[in-house]
């Protein structure tokens, strides 16, 4: 992504300068979507070692909640208003909390070791911080999207 500066002349003959934010053309441009996709892959890898008796239990629940995070981000970014986007980001945040809880359950059951748990929780914390930052940054107006 290229970052550019804008310049605007003022009434006093001076110029104001600022950083122009890159335009998000797709949910795939969002850092939070990319990080949450990486989390999905990490969850799938770590849950491969769960007992077969958990296939339809914790394994499935954890994977579905993880997949829900980037899915909600993508669906929300496609919506027309920032309010709708905010709602889907809230859903993604809820799914993120589910994933954190299920990681802790997996650790308590002995399915995940301390190193895997620590790594996964660090990624969920990072996704959470970025998600919260995006939520705070959303304007209370219609958002534009590429081609429309």
The CA–CA distances, whole Å, from 19 to 8, 10, 13, 39 equal 12, 17, 20, 30
- Considering the segment(s) 25-137 as one domain, its CATH architecture is Up-down Bundle (1.20)
Domain ranges within the chain, ordered by starting residue: 25-137
Decide if pLDDT at 145 tops 70. no
- pLDDT number for residue 62: 98
- Residue pair 109/59 in contact (Cβ under 8 Å)? The answer is no
Model confidence pTM above 0.85:
no
Lowest model confidence (mean pLDDT) among 26-40, 62-76, 101-115, 131-145: 131-145
Which is more confidently placed, 124 or 21?
A: 124
- pLDDT number for residue 67: 98
Decide if pLDDT at 43 tops 60. yes
- pLDDT number for residue 134: 92
């Amino acid at each position: 992504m290229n970052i550019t500066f804008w310049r605007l002349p003022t009434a006093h003959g001076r110029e104001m300068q600022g950083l122009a934010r890159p335009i998000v053309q797709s949910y795939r441009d969002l850092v939070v979507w990319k990080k949450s996709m990486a989390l999905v892959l990490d969850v799938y890898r770590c849950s491969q070692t769960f007992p077969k008796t958990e296939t339809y239990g914790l394994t499935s629940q954890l994977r579905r909640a993880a997949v829900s995070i980037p899915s909600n981000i993508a669906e929300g970014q496609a919506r027309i208003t920032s309010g709708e986007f905010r709602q889907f980001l809230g859903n993604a945040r809820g799914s993120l909390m589910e994933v954190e809880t299920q990681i802790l359950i997996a650790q308590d059951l002995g399915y995940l070791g301390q190193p895997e748990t620590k790594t996964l929780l660090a990624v969920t914390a990072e996704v959470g911080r970025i998600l919260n930052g995006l939520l705070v940054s959303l304007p209370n107006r219609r958002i534009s999207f590429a081609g429309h």
